[in-house]
Structure 1
Amino acid sequence: MVTALGVAQDADGVGMDALTHRRVIGAHWENPGVVAGLEVSGAAGLRYQASAGVAVCSTGGSDGSVEAYWPGGLTLEAVTAGDGAYPRIDTVYLLADTRAGGQVSLHVAQGTPSASPAHPVVPAGGLRLRDMTMPAGASATISASPMGSVDYAIPYGAKMGRIGYGSNTSSVLQDWSTKWWSQAPAETMMLATDRLVTVKFTWRASVDGEQVGSFYAMPVVDDQDMGDGLDECLVAHVWARQSVEWRMVLEGGRPHRVDVMAKPNLGRPRFTWRGLRTVEVIDEGVAR
C-alpha cells in the first residue's frame, strides 16, 4: 500500500512509515550535505566539536534521506595526540541512526600520520562535515586546522550560481603563432549531478592604431575540446570589456577543470591583452 507524506497511521498501522518518509525527503535533495551551521573546530582536549546545525544524511540507494539536527557539541570519540614526526588527517562526521528511536551523533575518524597523509574512511551513512589536519606534536585538537571544502546539500533543481572561477590579470602582447593558449583555468566545486552550465570568457584587449584584430576561442573541459574552434572574437583599438559564452553539460560526481583556449587570427593585426581575462562557470540547474 502506498501513502503520502503528512498521512498519519491508523489504528492498524497503515499510513506513513519511516522508509516512505525518507524516500520523500530524499527526492527533495540532489545530494547529502550540510544545510546550515555544523562548523567544525578543535577544542582544548582531544575531541573535535561542531556547532549547531542541520544536514541531509543518507545511507544511499533506495533508503532515502533524513534531515538531521545537531544541537552542537563534542565528538563521541577522542583522538590521540599528534605524531612525533608527521601530520595526519582526521575526519569529523555526523551519523543519523534511522532505526526507531535513533539518535544523531557526532564522530571522528582518525587518520594515519604520514609525510603525505590520506583521508580516513567514514563509515557507511556517515556525513563528512570537515577534514582536519592534526599537526605533528600537537597535544590538543585546537591545533588542528580545517582543510578542503564543505559539501553542502543542494535542493533538487536549484541553481548554484557561479561554481568555478579563474582569472589572469597580465597585460601581454599576444604570441603570434597558430598555437592555442590557455587563458584563465577555473576549478569547479564537486558536482552532485549532471549540470547544465554556462562558461563565460571575459577579456579586455586592443590593437594599436585604429585597425581591427581578432582571435578564435574554444572552451576546454578536463583537457577535452568542447567547441569547434570557430568562434571568432573581435579586438578593436579601444580597451572595451567583452565576453563570449558557451552552454554545455558537466558530468556529476566530480569537480572539473574548465578553461578557454585562444589563438590569434594571423591574417589581422597583432594585439595586446589588457589586464583582464576571466573564465566563469555558472550553474543553470540539473541537466535533463
Structure 2
Amino acid sequence: MDPYLKLIAASREEYSTPSYYWENRGRNGGSQWVFQRTLSGRAFLETHDGDRRDVMEGEMMVFHHGDGSAYGYPLEFRGVYELSFIAMEGELADSICAQIFRYGGDVCSIEGLGETVRLFDEILERFENRRFRDRLEMAELLYRFLLAVSREKNGVGRLRDPVAYCYNAIEMRHVNPITVAELADELGMSREHLARSFKERYGESPGNHLRRLRLERGRAMLLGSSLDVETVSLSCGYAASDSFGRAFKREYGVSPREFRSQSGGAG
C-alpha cells in the first residue's frame, strides 16, 4: 500500500428523506476512512455490533468501508440533514485511526472553532478547487487533520491512561523527531518507569516501537518513491540521514541505498 495519505473524495451534501442510507458491510471503496460532519439536522450511525448513535450538529461520524456499520437519515427525523465529508486512505490512516476509533464506526464531538474543523474545511476547500500543490502537501494536511482529531477525541487520555497515550503518540508522531524522553516529560513520568510500564503492556519498549515504525515507513518509501535517502530519513522522524542509515543497516543488514538497489525500488 502507498505509504502516503491520499484524499479520495470530499463533498458537501444535504438530504431530507430516509432514502439516504448506506451499509458499509461489503461496500466497495478499498480501505477508505470516512470523516462525516453533521452541519445541521441529524443522522444516525449504527455500529457493527448493533449500537446506534444519533450524530448531531457539531459531531462527526467516523467509519471504514467494509467495517459492518451503517448510517443515514433517521426515520423519525423531519428536516434537512446537511453534511460534509472527507474520505482518505493510506497505511498511516489505518495505523492512526485504528488507535483512535472503534472498528465498526464511532462518533466524536468536535469544537466549532477548533483546529479539527479548520483543517477539515481547508482540506474540503482545496479538494473542491484543486488547490493541492502535490501529493506531499495533501498528505501533510491529512496527517495534521488526523493529529487534530486525535487530540480532540483523546484530550483526557494522557491523565486517564498515560501508557496508552504514549503508544498513541508514537503511532501518530513517529514521523516527527520526538524522543521517548520527551514523551515521558509530557506525561510527568520518568523515562524508566514509562519504558517498564510500556513493555509490560505491549511486549516491547517504547524506543523499539518508535524505531520499528520509522524504519518500516522508511523501507516503504525507499521502495515506493524516488526521494533521496536524506529526504526519506527526515520524513521518518530522523534528524540526520546518518542516524537513519545506521538504524536501517542494523535492522535490515544493508544500507538504505543498498536496499533500494537490491530491491529494484524507485530511483
TM-score, normalised to structure 2's length? 0.27
Structure possessing the higher radius of gyration over alpha carbons? 1
Determine which structure has the larger helix proportion and give its number: 2
Determine which structure has the larger strand proportion and give its number: 1
TM-score, normalised to structure 1's length? 0.26
